[in-house]
Amino acid sequence: MRQLFSSRLALGLIFSLPLAGFCLYVVFLQPRFLLSFSASLVFLLGIFVYQHFRLVWLRAEAELKRQDFQEKANLLEAQIERQWVALKSARKKLVDYFELKTIAEKLNQSFSLSDTSSVLSTEVSKLFGHKDLTVILYIFHSKTGELGISASHKGQMEVNIKAKKGDVYDQWVAKNLQPLLIEDTARDFRFDAEKIKVEDDRTISSLMSVPMMIGGKAIGILRIDSPVENYFQTEHIRLLSTIGDLGAVAIENAQLYEKIEELSIRDSLTELYLRRHFLQRLTYEINREIRQKKELSFVLVDLDYFKKYNDQFGHMAGDIVLKTISMLLVEVFNIPGSLVCRYGGEEFAVFLPDCSKERAAQLSEEFRERVAEQAFYLKRQETRMTVSVGVASLPQDGILREQLIEKADRALYKAKQSGRNRVCVS
């Protein structure tokens, strides 16, 4: 290290001595040369300072241009990002519109309320595509106005929901008729999450629910809940609201379709089934009972002297009697699978699956007694009505529909010939 230092010192002295000698020579022996040399140094220094400031200015200008280009690049990048976001949004909307078109087409192909509800619930579950999501469709009862589950799916499987009439979330939507979005049920101050856990053992961490409206009238509620927090976003509930609007129209159409079907197979006065539908069902039930080797009973009922009663008190009074008799028929012959119909003007028919002739005769007698005891008050006058009943059974009286009807009709004729207000068995 010392050797290196000594060598550098020696080198410095070697170069310094000639320079010092040159300076002494110039100062003492060549003063004019010193003046010229100094002027040259000043000139060179001036040029150096000029070039230095020019270089600083050029650097500043270049920095400004760089910043300007950077700003333009940032603006262009932001514009590209906005366009990319818009493109992604357009793609998402295109996919959503395609899904909505698919849902609308499938709903248009569904006529019954059960099919429509199932399609709506299933397609919504597919659209949001998570196996742990639960989709619930509630429909308001037309008479009571209460909520009732029409369909429910978890993934692609039907699931049983405890809250058949909806929980506090559904009641909130039903009351306010506004969409509901909850990102975290545990932190939402509007609802008591602990109470809800007691009512339903499902884990509900986030949900969205929309009312299904038509012209200011609530048809039902469409809801999706998830066990994952912050699963749903604002764009999701917008999409669900659109689906809810489509579903509301489809459900109303299905309800109207079912009402029209009911009107085509039910009597408008008594609300009992009409003869055509009754006979179709009777044929099916006879075939089923024959296959299973069981009994089936058929009952024909006729109101005694109804034409005379109608002429005396008027058709309005006759309608009251028919409606009352219809209600008594439904009450008395209320066994599983039974069907009551208005068979003719003042004639009624009942078939009773898995019912013996003896049991059918007992029920018929009970019905006859109920009718005889029933008082009709018309124009402040108490009146009474009686019925005649004929009973036949399968297989004792035949295995064909026509045979069964003929035997019951003969028994009914026998009851009328025997003085009316009685039950006769074939």
Q: Which of 377, 373, 403, 407 is nearest to 387 (CA)?
A: 373
Does 292 lie in the same domain as 216?
Answer: no
Kindly state whether residues 117 and 143 are assigned to the same domain.
Answer: yes
Query: pLDDT at position 92, please?
Result: 62
- CB contact at 8 A, 323 and 272: no
- Residue ranges of the chain with pLDDT lower than 50? 4
Domain contains 421: yes
**Residue 211 shares a structural domain with residue 319:** no
Verify that 286 and 245 share a domain, yes or no: no
Q: For the chain, first and last CA: distance in Å?
A: 138
Residue 90 lies in a domain: no
Q: How far is CA 387 from the centre of its chain?
A: 50
Tokens of 253: 């159409």
**Neighbour-count burial for 150-163, b at 16+ CB within 10 Å, e otherwise:** bbbbbbeeeeeeeb
- Tell me the CATH number at 314: 3.30.70.270
Question: What's the pLDDT score for residue 302?
Answer: 94
Please check whether residue 15 lies inside any domain of the structure.
Answer: no
Quick one: how far is CA 13 from the chain centroid? 99
pLDDT recorded at residue 304: 93
In sign, the C-alpha dihedral spanning 357, 359, 360, 361 is: positive
Contact 250, 107 (CB under 8 A): yes
Q: What is the mean pLDDT of the chain?
A: 83
Task: Confirm whether 102 is domain-assigned.
Answer: no
Number of domains in the chain: 3
Same domain for 403 and 330: yes
Supply the range of the domain harboring residue 351.
273-425
Give me the residue label for tokens 């399968």: 394
> 274 forms bridges with which residues in the sheet?
342
Residue 91 lies in a domain: no
pLDDT, position 363: 95
CA distance 288 to 63: 95
Q: What are the backbone angles phi and psi of residue 122, rounded to the nearest 5°? A: -65, -45
How many CB atoms sit inside 10 A of residue 320's CB? Answer: 15
Report the DSSP beta bridge partners of residue 350. Answer: 299, 340
Question: Inter-axis angle of helices 275-292 and 401-417, to 10 degrees?
Answer: 110
Q: Extract the tokens encoding 263.
A: 């009107």
402 and 410 in contact (C-beta within 8 Å)? no
Write down the pLDDT at residue 193: 65
Q: Is 95 exposed, middle or buried (0-12, 13-18, 19+ CB in 10 A)?
A: exposed
Q: Scanning the structure block, which residue is given the tokens 């199932």?
A: 118
In the numeric block, which tokens belong to residue 396? Answer: 């004792």
* 144 shares a domain with 54: no
Q: Does residue 353 lie within any of the structural domains?
A: yes
2-23 residue pLDDT tens: 554 566 566 666 656 666 666 6
- The SS3 call for residue 102 is helix
Q: How far apart are CA 318 and CA 306, in angstroms?
A: 8
159 and 255, same domain (yes or no): yes
Residues 278 and 243 in one domain: no
Query: What residue type is 218 in one-letter code?
Result: A
Alpha-carbon distance 359 to 346, whole Å? 24
Is residue 121 located within the same domain as residue 224? yes
> pLDDT (tens digit, 9 = 90+) per residue, 49-93?
788 788 888 888 888 888 888 888 888 888 888 877 766 765 666
In this predicted structure, what is the pLDDT of residue 165?
Answer: 78
The confidence score (pLDDT) of residue 48 equals: 77
- Domain presence at residue 155: yes
**Domain presence at residue 106:** no
Identify whether residues 121 and 189 lie together within a single domain.
Answer: yes
Q: Which two tokens stand for residue 17?
A: 């001595």
